[in-house]
């Protein structure tokens, strides 16, 4: 699951999986650093950090430390698309943004709008993705710029999301005792999301209905699934249940007139839930 999906859900505030942060005033420059790992073709974990700088007016930022536990069944959503940064007023944050993780240092460079050739507020790697060890602390340095339409110098150190193991998920659980277990982070401020796809049969036609059990937990290691969700889960048709799960954590650096946010996400995938 890509992090933009999380951001879209947060922007819409439609699923109740996370409360929205109230610590960051939204009428000031904001920087959001996204650390969303994935697997390479040889199954190595890699990372392509992305930074966004924009006028924060009217924008709410998801915060892992104040998540609201929730679980519901929704229509299957393979992808909701990317957060609409292009609709926000971009800011110039300097020549490059420095990301340091352990012994690895990388620079993110400004991207240009293809129509205007002006910076669009996004900073990307201009090299191959980084070999990545999830859970490695990072330091971000923003050189900043001066004048109208700019973001000032800032720096932040942040934790990142570590791997986790998901326990066996019962295919026919007792409806009042259905739990999802996993290895917890062992710290505060983390959250875990599970999105597990399954099919049920339509009552009238018998045709498959593609659904998804979407659950968010404050990284406790055990999540009790509501009875209403378990009842639908127990009606699933035979077949694999694709699982996309992720641990995420946010770090917020208040810098007076500006805000800098690091959102780290580690993804776990399985073509069939364990």
Once rounded to an integer, what is the mean pLDDT over residues 90-105? 94
Q: What is the pLDDT of residues 138-172, one digit of tens each?
A: 999 999 999 999 999 999 999 999 999 999 999 99
Does 28 score more than 90 pLDDT?
Answer: no
- Residue 78: its pLDDT value, please? 62
Q: What is the pLDDT of residues 32-63, one digit of tens each?
A: 999 999 999 898 999 999 999 999 877 777 88
Q: What is the pLDDT of residues 58-84, one digit of tens each?
A: 777 788 988 778 999 998 876 555 677
Listing DSSP states for the chain in one string gives --HHHHHHHHHHT-S-SEEEP-SS-SSSEEEEEEEEEEE-TTS-EEE--EEEEEE-TT---EEEEEE--EEEEEE--S------GGGS-B-B--S-EEEEETTEEEEEEEEE-TTT-SEEEEEEESSSPEE--TT--EEEEE----STTB---EEEEE--PPP--B----SS--TTS-EEEB---SSSSEEEEEEEEEEEE-TTT--EEEEEEEEEE-S-SEEEPPHHHHHHHTTPPSS---EEEEEEEEEEEEETTEEEEEEEEEEEEESS--
- Residue 82: its pLDDT value, please? 66
- Residue 268: its pLDDT value, please? 93
- Residue 66: its pLDDT value, please? 83
The mean predicted confidence, pLDDT, of the chain is: 85
- Residue 95: its pLDDT value, please? 95
Instruction: Say what the pTM is.
Output: 0.86
């Amino acid at each position: 699951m890509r992090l933009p999906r999380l951001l879209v859900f947060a922007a819409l505030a439609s699923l109740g999986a996370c409360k929205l942060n109230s610590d960051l005033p939204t009428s000031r420059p904001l920087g959001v650093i996204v650390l969303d790992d994935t697997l390479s073709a040889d199954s190595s974990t890699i990372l392509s950090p992305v930074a966004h700088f924009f006028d924060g007016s009217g924008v709410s930022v998801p915060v892992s430390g104040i998540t609201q536990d929730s679980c519901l069944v929704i229509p299957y959503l393979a992808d909701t698309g990317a957060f609409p940064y292009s609709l926000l007023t971009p800011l110039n944050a300097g020549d490059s943004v420095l990301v340091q993780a352990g012994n690895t240092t990388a620079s993110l460079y400004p991207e240009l709008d293809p129509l205007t050739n002006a910076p669009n507020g996004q900073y990307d790697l201009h090299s191959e993705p980084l070999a990545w060890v999830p859970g490695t602390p990072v330091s971000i340095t923003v050189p900043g710029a001066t004048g109208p339409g700019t973001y000032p110098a800032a720096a932040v150190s942040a934790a990142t999301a570590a791997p986790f193991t998901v326990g066996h998920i019962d295919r026919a659980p007792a409806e009042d005792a259905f739990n999802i277990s996993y290895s917890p982070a062992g710290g505060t401020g983390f959250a875990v999301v599970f999105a597990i796809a399954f099919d049920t049969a339509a009552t009238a036609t018998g045709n498959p209905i593609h659904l998804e059990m979407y659950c968010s937990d404050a990284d406790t290691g055990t999540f009790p699934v509501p009875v209403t969700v378990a009842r639908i889960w127990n009606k699933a048709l035979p077949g694999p249940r694709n699982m996309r799960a992720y641990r995420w954590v946010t770090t917020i650096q208040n810098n007076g007139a500006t805000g800098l946010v690091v959102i780290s996400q580690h993804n776990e995938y399985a073509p069939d839930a364990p």
